[in-house]
Amino acid sequence: MKFTSLIAAAALMLLAACGGQNNQSNRETATTDSLVVNVYTHRHYDADKQLFAEFEKETGIKVNVKTSSADELQKLMEMEGANCPADLLLTVDAGRLVRAKEKGLLQPVQSEILNANIPANLRDSEGYWYSLTQRGRVIVYNKTKVKPSDLSTYEDLTSAKWKKRILMRPSDNIYNQSLLASIIAHKGEAAALQWAKGIVANMARKPKGNDRDQIYAVANGEGDVAIVNTYYLGQMLNSKEAADTVAAQKIGIFFPNQTDRGTHMNVSGGGVAKYAPNKANAIKLLEFLSSDKAQQVFAEGNQEYPVKPGVPLSATLASWGTFKSDTLNIMELGKLNAAAVKIFDAAGWK
């Protein structure tokens, strides 16, 4: 009797254990590709919030957002490893997208929608990441001190006429690194070094601040020209802050290298996280962000150029006119990032 009771008790324990395992399995299944997508993003714009809300409304998929700096998010994903809850990483600059792939933080996906919406030179050839917006890295100038006819190419900024007239942000900025990487790709490392040295020689002050700071400094007469991303000027022209619009209205915009390779373009974009628990939802969100509707919100709300051809520009972007853009495959910007950093150091660009 006692022995029979022990057997019965053991059987009950076994059933309970099996039931627990099944429940755990069910819980895991329920959280995989459920109605949620977890986004790690460096982008911090109202346009993105609007789009996430639209996606939730259209699909019923809840978008959970974690924001931080681009480098901090990648470090966090490395530390979390297989336990990382992120489904989708959104970040800025091709250099960072390539870096995320090289660190093993992303996984390849294939989507006919993404491949149709996004040109081949603006996405990873193996499907690890896709560009979602474009930003031109252009020359801006003080309208009272510079005429458009004075400007031509990035390379011309190294000529003697620009001595003590150029304002730039530091060399540790990824936008500057990608611009230099594009020069390496087109001209070679020796020419890139000469360019970096020439810009350093013509600087009006030591590099500091972000692109917005360069625009303010040009408007205030601290220098005559600077190199910035287009969306900064576009945002300032459409700002609710009077100081932003006053400064921006003093600034002219020039798209360099129109007679050769075209103006350097960079991107923001995203890739599906390596351990994404909701992979299908992450792909759906990427596809949504590449749609006509989303691309126009990026243009209108954040003054970024669409990656999908044919999407209308904002009034501000359209007012700047058409221009020839560099069609270099932006994967090269990430591949040449290390070489660009070394050249900046060699040129004394702090």
Q: Tell me: the pLDDT tens digits for 331-350?
A: 999 999 999 999 999 999 99
In degrees to the nearest 10, what's the CA dihedral of 310, 316, 321, 327?
Answer: -50
Quick one: CA torsion of 297, 301, 304, 305, rounded to 10 degrees? 40
By C-alpha distance, which of 326, 327, 300 is closest to 311? 300
Backbone φ and ψ of 146, nearest 5°: -135, 140
Mean pLDDT across the stretch 117-142?
A: 97
Confidence grade of residue 23 (pLDDT, cut at 50, 70, 90): very low
Distance between CA atoms of residues 307 and 270, nearest Å: 13
Confidence at 34, pLDDT banded by 50, 70, 90: confident
φ/ψ of residue 265, rounded to 5: -115, 140
Helices 211-219 & 230-237, crossing angle to 10 degrees? 60
Higher pLDDT, 15 or 238: 238
Reference 255, options 263, 247, 245, 265; nearest CA is 263
Q: What's the average model confidence in pLDDT over 99-113?
A: 97
At 33 the pLDDT is 60
The whole-angstrom separation of Cα 128 and Cα 273 is 9
Buried b / exposed e along 278-297 (16+ C-beta atoms within 10 A): bbebbbbbbbbbbbeebbbb
Residue 32's pLDDT band, with cuts at 50, 70 and 90, is low
- The letter for the amino acid at 223 is G
CA distances from 304 to 6, 58, 234, 342 (A): 71, 24, 8, 30
Note the pLDDT tens digit of each residue in 154-182.
999 999 999 999 999 999 999 999 999 99
| All domains of the chain in start order, with CATH | 34-134+267-313 (3.40.190.10), 135-264+329-347 (3.40.190.10)
Is residue 130 within 8 A of residue 123, CB to CB? The reply is: yes
* For range 6-16, the mean pLDDT: 38
User: Residue 131: its pLDDT value, please?
Assistant: 98
**DSSP-assigned beta bridge partners for residue 244:** none
- Is the separation of the CB atoms in 209 and 161 below 8 Å? no
Distance CA(152)–CA(259), nearest Å, equals: 9
Has residue 70 got a pLDDT over 60?
yes
Please report which confidence band the pLDDT of residue 19 belongs to, taking 50, 70 and 90 as the band edges: very low
Residue with tokens 């970040």: 91
Contact call for residues 233 and 248 (beta carbons, < 8 A): yes
Query: Can you tell me the mean pLDDT for 22-51?
Result: 72
